Amino acid sequence: MRFGVDLTTKALLALEEVTQDCRYCVPDRTFAIRFALAYLYALKPGDPDPYVDFWRAIAGENDVFRFQFANRELDRIYRKLGLVREDPCVREIWEVAQARAERRSEK
């Protein structure tokens, strides 16, 4: 897995991970995620809606829509930053999240 060498890439990977976790559970809204959102916002200040909406989406109780809404907001964050979201990276993180969910269900 390509983890990236810069803080921006690492912040985006953290958001990718929590987005994929939204498929299987309501992820914890950690200080790490809060930091990643704040850091990315600081790169291109302006409209905070994508970041605030992402924070709200990951806490959604609706199992059907939580991932969909978080994923949509993450797409908005990438667009705001002028970056392209890489499908192979997203798929790899999804596979990790899926394996983690399977391990949780086995316990």
pLDDT in tens, 30-43: 999 999 999 999 99
Between 65 and 106, name the one with better pLDDT. 65
The model's confidence at residue 1, banded by pLDDT at 50, 70 and 90, is very low
Report residue 69 as tokens.
Answer: 């809404």
**Alpha-carbon distances of 70 from 1, 2, 4, 23, 46, rounded to whole Å:** 22, 22, 22, 10, 20
